[in-house]
Amino acid sequence: MIRSDEARAENVISKANYSLRLQPSLKAAVERFALAEGTSLNQFINVAVAEKLSALETEGFFKERAKAAKREDFIGFLDGAGDEPPMDGDHRA
């Protein structure tokens, strides 16, 4: 049974329409990828927007963290890493 909060949320989501104008070549490419993913164009675009927002928010998070960082703490961290050579499997192929 759907709670009334969930029903209201679904109603709000269904009304969040936006007319999106894509270049024909971009739209065709997105349609191909959406089809390959087995999803709708709308769902593909929703996920793409969510991924972009996540990336931007993550960048902002690390910029804020960097403001409070101290170089000497970072150097201390690196100094504590040791000087052992990489283990098997740690090398790039």
Give the lowest-confidence range in 10-19, 26-35, 61-70. Answer: 10-19
Of residues 22, 49, 15, the one with CA closest to residue 31: 22
Please list the alpha-helical segments (H only) found in 68-85. 71-79
Longest dimension (CA), the chain: 59
Q: Please tell me the distance from the alpha carbon of residue 21 to that of residue 33, in angstroms, as a whole number.
A: 18
Decide if pLDDT at 2 tops 60. Answer: no
pLDDT at position 10 over 90: no
What's the pLDDT at 14?
A: 64
**Residue 39: what pLDDT?**
95
The answer to which of 32-41, 73-82, 84-93 has the lowest mean pLDDT is: 84-93
